Structure 1
């Protein structure tokens, strides 16, 4: 990148607006053509920031939010915690989200965030995540990091369309 290293640190309340921007712009960039355009266009950074602040202030501490900084700017975000099977948590961990500023894709920020997440989750048997079935760029990213699709698929609704996801898993390094 340059002489400024990527720094990973815990997210703070002050980061919520920037994290919301990363998430919304990330969805709009990565999921264009995979979800209805009007749904993506209607995503709101202020509404997402309000949800981030609420979750940050009222969370039970089970979710870890990390941000990546480069030269003092927050350029990425990842969140992980217990894997959810319905209403119960398992011994596994789950990567709930990882987003990098679209202009910074391919610069190592995502790999650095993922490495930090793997370190944080090394005491869990496995790290699981869900990725859109048609998101080939993300699937290649996870596969290069040692994740493999395990054959489990689910769909969710976005703007009236059913969006298929596949589950990926990586065994712990421990």
Structure 2
């Protein structure tokens, strides 16, 4: 089974590994391969270390660990970063599970902990941006009670515009 706890600096390399491998697995065929090929655990770990040097107010990083203490999943939640939503909305910035363990319940455990943290921070709803073509993630969030709210945006990855749809769930 897994436990969920706050991420520590000692978890950085493990979280970066999950994030990079997770991106390469989840976004294969969605994002340009050139972009995915340039992602490295080392570069991602440097970014995470900078975060720990200057933590952002209200942002919580959580990790799921197995019985041996190995990090198997990561999630990050905090205040909504966009416009057009009230101060009572939080945002799930990221949720990744070791790809070989997807479907084992780790994502649901992390999401449950995210919801508890969001409620404790006073958020009444939670928003998450999902790549439009990521059917697996969209299905995961829909099963967890999230619904697309009509907002869309695009990000550029190596000159390719990739669309995202925003999901919302009341807490």
Classify the TM-score, shorter chain.
over 0.9
Please give the residue correspondences for 1:126-141 in structure 2 after superposition, counting only pairs within 5 Å: 126-141=125-140
Render the CA deviation track for 1:124-156: whole Å, top value 9, x for unaligned: 121000000010000000000000000100000
How far did 1:110 drift? 0.3
Render the CA deviation track for 1:13-40: whole Å, top value 9, x for unaligned: 0101111111111000000000111110
Decide whether aligned partners of structure 1 residues 89 and 39 sit closer, same or farther in structure 2, where only a CA change above 3 A counts.
farther
How far did 1:85 drift? 2.0
Decide whether aligned partners of structure 1 residues 26 and 35 sit closer, same or farther in structure 2, where only a CA change above 3 A counts.
same
* CA–CA distance in structure 1, aligned partners of residues 142 and 150 of structure 2: 14
Tell me the residue number matched to 2:66. Answer: 70
Tell me the residue number matched to 1:152. Answer: 151
Render the CA deviation track for 1:21-63: whole Å, top value 9, x for unaligned: 1111100000000011111011011010000011012113321
How far did 1:160 drift? 1.4
The TM-score, its normalising length taken from structure 1, stands at 0.93
Tell me the residue number matched to 2:170. Answer: 171
1:80 maps to 2:80: no
* CA–CA distance in structure 1, aligned partners of residues 4 and 91 of structure 2: 19
Flag as ranges the 4+ runs of structure 1 deviating above 2 A.
Answer: 88-91
Q: Which has the higher strand share?
A: 1
How many pairs align? 167
Unpaired runs of at least 5, structure 1:
none
The TM-score, its normalising length taken from structure 2, stands at 0.94
**Is the Cα contact below 8 Å between 1:84 and 1:90 reproduced in 2?**
no
Unpaired runs of at least 5, structure 2:
none
